[in-house]
Amino acid sequence: MTDRKIALITGGSRGIGLSTALRLAEAGCDIIINDICDAEKAQPALDKIKAKGVNAYFYSFDVSNDEQVQKNVDKMIADHGKIDVLINNAGITKDGLFVRMDADQWERVIKINLSSAYYVTHAVIKHMMKARSGSIVSMSSVVGVHGNAGQANYSASKAGLIGLTKTLAKEFGSRNIRVNAVAPGFIQTDMTKDLANTDDYMKFIPLKRMGTPEDVAEVVKFLALDATYVTGQVLEVSGGLII
């Protein structure tokens, strides 16, 4: 077993997940990234993480499939002995006005963004309990706090992550496991690349720019590793956005 902390980041091969993996690697963690893509597609991300001087591993599975999650977390523990830090980051959008939102659109987003956090956390936390130590950060969103027209499914999933975060903080504090969430605003990634009228959003962002994945990663790293007396909190990373 390595002396370094091991961090698992779901959806870690690109976007905010990859930036978080790189930041935690800079802080000295060995890194496990998960993604639904195959190993070849994830290789550039692994190479970037390894260039920080730590070990990096990739496990391909769908976070919305409980069976796959359990099998892969078991394998991670068999391979590496522990998971010290869990970042529930994988997520998707399937936007549309509520009146036209079909059940599949609703359920897909809830399953990938929210049920996934139950599956992965449930599989990982028993090992953290045994170790009497652990830190979990889930990627919520400002729209999980404030709501957003056209994103009922996504907002509900991100609000659900906040409820999960606060509850797990209460249930697992006595085991020395901290559970927090980050709520990003508009961050430049593939998820937001097709957003129209981004100039309009600037009216509502005091810092007058979209965020970068690195802006978010810095806060995730703070909550995951440094904030040793912080649990059950939701930290907005939004340039001051008020919806």
Q: What are the residues binding ligand NAP (CB under 6 A)?
A: 10-11, 13-17, 34-37, 62-64, 89-92, 112, 139, 141, 184, 186-187, 189-192
Output the smallest distance, CB 224 to ligand NAP, in A. 15
Output the smallest distance, CB 3 to ligand NAP, in A. 29
Nearer CB in complex with ligand NAP: 18/54: 18
CB-neighbour burial class of residue 149 (10 A; exposed 0-12, middle 13-18, buried 19+): exposed
Q: Report the C-alpha gap between 92 and 107 in whole angstroms.
A: 12
In contact, 154 and 113? CB cutoff 8 Å: yes
The residues assigned a catalytic role are 154
Nearer CB in complex with ligand NAP: 173/206: 206
In contact, 8 and 34? CB cutoff 8 Å: yes
Output the smallest distance, CB 58 to ligand NAP, in A. 11
Q: Report the C-alpha gap between 233 and 223 in whole angstroms.
A: 9
Output the smallest distance, CB 229 to ligand NAP, in A. 25
Nearer CB in complex with ligand NAP: 13/135: 13
**Which is it for the CA torsion 200, 204, 208, 212, positive or negative?**
negative
Nearer CB in complex with ligand NAP: 4/66: 66
In contact, 182 and 219? CB cutoff 8 Å: yes
Residue 75: count of CB within 10 angstroms of its CB:
12
Q: Report the C-alpha gap between 32 and 28 in whole angstroms.
A: 13
